[in-house]
Amino acid sequence: MKAVTSNAWGLCVFLAIFLTATVVPGCEATCSFPAIFNFGDSNTDTGGFYTAFPALWPPYGMTYFQKPTGRTTDGRVIVDFLAQGLGLPFLSPYLKSIGSDYRHGVNFASAEATARLPHSSPFDSWISPFSLAIQFNQFKHFKVIVDEHDSYDVGNTELPPKNIFGKALYTLYIGQNDFTANLTSLGISGVNQFLPEVVGQIPKTIKDIYSQGGRTFLILNLAPIGCYPIFLVEPLPHNASDIDQFGCLISYNNAVVDYNSMLKDTVRKTRQNLKDANVIYVDTHSILLELFQHPTSHGLKYGTKTCCGEGGGDYNYNKKLLCGIAKVVDGVIVRAEACEDPYNYVMWDGLHTTDAANKLVAQAIFSGSYFDPPFSLHHFCDIHPIG
């Protein structure tokens, strides 16, 4: 991972490379996208799931917002930083009926969402009903409402102009729950059998959005879940030989690498079929793996250790105690509490990354070094520094 700084660089290179193949003088006029439409799971959910099912508690949100906001971390998620870098406000969740401002995009992501259609309810499996196909249907409905209204103020909800859909940036970061929800019951071999089906949902959604006018897409690949504390504490379906020198599960991370390879090939084929679209594969896996393996090289202290957890040790994670929850164990109240310095951690609650880690991921994305096709963004224009 190359050095990451707060001096992130612009994304208008999409227009320059794909549409003109030349450097564009005065790029500042076209470098900012006017909106982001985001699809995904808890990694980029800004409150959609917990608007539908209100149930988030402190210390979630403690670092940046000082209160829970529906984000499953201590502060901001990756899409928040992408919006900041582009000079846009944070995205309102599609399901938030009070106080939403959609003039610069919408967040359709939902915690616990899967790329495939769910086969159970969120009350017995922790799987969201708002899968990728449902999120696209919500987007399509949103576009119909925008197209039907001349006014930008509908029921006290701010809407964007009708021409925004072809100019916007579309981000997709989903698939993790298709892994995690089935690992315990099916194991790696069982999960591997339906990975092609999971991958297949991504190009379908890209083409569906394309049919609605979308032209620029960032497809984020999956993180190295074998480094997540939730999979590293006992009881485990593996042995010591499956742990690498950094404390991560080799078999789980290998499975993610296989998935990401399939996803990259699929995104490349989709790009070839949509000649006038920018379909970019983003290697967030490499960024996060570097943070897990070498946190101190990037201003952090702990890679696979949880900030908000209980139990101490290498991972500070207890599967029976969610972040912020207390239980009586052997007559003693035990609580999974947040650390005092989440800015030193990659992992927040055993399954989600911290505000600090998300910021580093976004900065690395803006560097342009993790795109396929590869190109350098910093030759074209600056973007807003991420604070």
Does the active-site annotation cover 349? yes
> What mean pLDDT is predicted for residues 84-104?
92
172 CB-side CA count, 13 A: 29
pLDDT band at 21 (very low <50, low <70, confident <90, very high): very low
Domains of the chain, earliest start first = 13-300+353-375 (3.40.50.1110)
Strands 332-335 and 326-329: antiparallel
With a cut of 70, say whether residue 29 has pLDDT above it. no
pLDDT in tens, 73-82: 999 999 999 9
**What is the reported pLDDT for 230?**
93
Beta carbons of 11 and 366 less than 8 angstroms apart: yes
Report the mean per-residue pLDDT for the chain: 86
pLDDT band at 5 (very low <50, low <70, confident <90, very high): very low
- CB under 8 A, 24+ apart: contacts of 323-330: 323/59, 323/60, 323/348, 323/349, 323/350, 324/57, 324/58, 324/59, 324/60, 325/57
pLDDT band at 275 (very low <50, low <70, confident <90, very high): confident
Label residue 314 exposed, middle or buried (CB < 10 Å: 0-12, 13-18, 19+): middle
Does the active-site annotation cover 149? no
**What is the reported pLDDT for 330?**
80
> What mean pLDDT is predicted for residues 233-239?
68
Selecting among 104, 285, 298, 352, the annotated active-site residue is 352
Q: What is the pTM of this model?
A: 0.89
pLDDT in tens, 176-206: 999 888 777 788 888 888 889 999 999 999 9
Strands 153-154 and 157-158: antiparallel
pLDDT in tens, 240-262: 789 999 999 999 999 999 999 99
> What mean pLDDT is predicted for residues 270-281?
94
Selecting among 32, 42, 110, 131, the annotated active-site residue is 42
Higher pLDDT, 125 or 55: 55
User: Considering all CA atoms of the chain, what is the largest pairwise distance in Å, rounded to the nearest integer?
Assistant: 70
With a cut of 70, say whether residue 3 has pLDDT above it. no
pLDDT band at 127 (very low <50, low <70, confident <90, very high): confident
User: Length of the chain, please?
Assistant: 387
Across 117-131, 204-218, 237-251, which has the greatest mean pLDDT? 204-218
Does the active-site annotation cover 352? yes
DSSP secondary structure code for residue 60 in this structure: T
Selecting among 104, 349, 367, 369, the annotated active-site residue is 349
With a cut of 50, say whether residue 117 has pLDDT above it. yes
**What is the reported pLDDT for 10?**
37
**What is the reported pLDDT for 152?**
56
